[in-house]
Amino acid sequence: MTNQLGTLEELPKDYLRALNDLSVAPLWPFLRAALPFDFPSRATVPFIWRYKDIRGHLMRAGELTPMEKAERRVLVLSNPGIGLEKLMATPTIYAGLQLILPGETAEPHRHTPSAIRFVIEGDGGFTIVNGEKCPMEKGDLILTPSGTWHEHWHAGKNPVVWLDALDLPVIGSLEVSYVVEGKRQAINNAADRSQTAYRRSGLVPYASLGKHRADYPLIRFPWREVRESLVSLAAGSGPKDPVHLAYVNPETGGECLPILGFSAQMLRAGEEVAPPRRSSSAIMHVIEGAGQSEIDGKTIEWTEGDTISVPTYARIRHRAASGKPAFVFHVDDAPLHRKIGIYEELVD
Ligand code: 1HN
């Protein structure tokens, strides 16, 4: 084990030039940066994007840039430690706030990155995913897995805003990110299938038994039901038990998308929780309530609508304000970490 690796400066200029001409690089000057001892180096910083600061600028984008010129009208939550133009909230998570105004549509397309929408405000928006019409109510989670057609509509009266999260940094780094445009979809359900075929956990359509399991059977997870489930779970558990539910594929019980994972957590009024340090990076979005988090020594006060980045292996403590519970939505890259065998949790 050594920190005394040779540097570029130690090498003769003509040698470096000869290597350079051949597009060859010596490993040793760069090895420690690529493979540090004991703990990874991280560009991602803990950061909060406050909804109250950004909302006005998003509305202004609605005046400045028509849909035809935007394709998707989004302000991207770019981690300042990584660089704003990289469009990354964390090493694996793209996140943005998308605005759609009454009467507007975001045209159909499908792409290799998988996406989710998490609704922040407004009524009357809907997303059609492979023909399934999904209403968008505050707090609803809607999946648009890799390759699924999707388009957004707005039949309501007020602006609709949602949080987009995509695995774009991963798909981009694999050099396989692309989009295909398509025709408007015929709607093939009256009520959305997510609310009929998979109405309740523990019950799946009989015909699905013994068959190849659907990759993405459930597309919309209504917040009303997730919230009720969290409140019931809190009532049925001890005062210190975590109240944290993962969104899963109802046919497999596994994570609903291959790279990013989604969960919702209730923090009881005044409660403080200290999860283990996880290898996964994450964003945390405040659905309801207020509180503060300490992330790698940085104290962040949050309230409804805010979104926070959490670096890999971060030391975290969350505290809900007293008076009422807080509800938060998490996006993390733990599904990818588990698949490639790098997921770990450390307890100090
Ligand atoms: C996308 O397709 C949407 O469909 C939103 O609403 C944000 C960011 C990058 C790439 C594709 C959407 C996106 C996106």
Name the band, by pLDDT with cuts 50, 70 and 90, for residue 348: confident
Percent of the chain at pLDDT > 90 equals 89
Ligand 1 atom having least distance to the Cα of 106 = 6
Closest CA to 162 of 260, 287, 28: 287
* CATH code of residue 175: 2.60.120.10
- Is 13 a domain residue? no
pTM exceeds cut of 0.75: yes
Q: Average pLDDT of 52-76?
A: 97
Total number of domains constituting the chain: 1
CB of 220 sitting under 6 A from ligand 1: no
Ligand 1: residue of 74, 75, 150, 185 to mutate (most ligand atoms within 8 A of CB) is: 74
- Is 281 a domain residue? yes
Name the band, by pLDDT with cuts 50, 70 and 90, for residue 156: very high
* pLDDT digit string, tens, across residues 174-233: 999 999 999 999 998 766 778 888 888 888 888 888 777 778 889 999 999 999 999 999
CB of 96 sitting under 6 A from ligand 1: yes
Q: What is the pLDDT of residue 211?
A: 77
Q: What is the pLDDT of residue 209?
A: 84
Q: What is the pLDDT of residue 196?
A: 83
Q: What is the pLDDT of residue 189?
A: 75
- Is 162 a domain residue? yes
CB of 72 sitting under 6 A from ligand 1: yes
Name the band, by pLDDT with cuts 50, 70 and 90, for residue 103: very high
Rg (CA), the chain: 22
Residue 173 CA to ligand 1 center (angstroms) comes to 17
Q: Is the pLDDT of residue 119 over 80?
A: yes
Q: What is the domain range of residue 171? A: 47-346
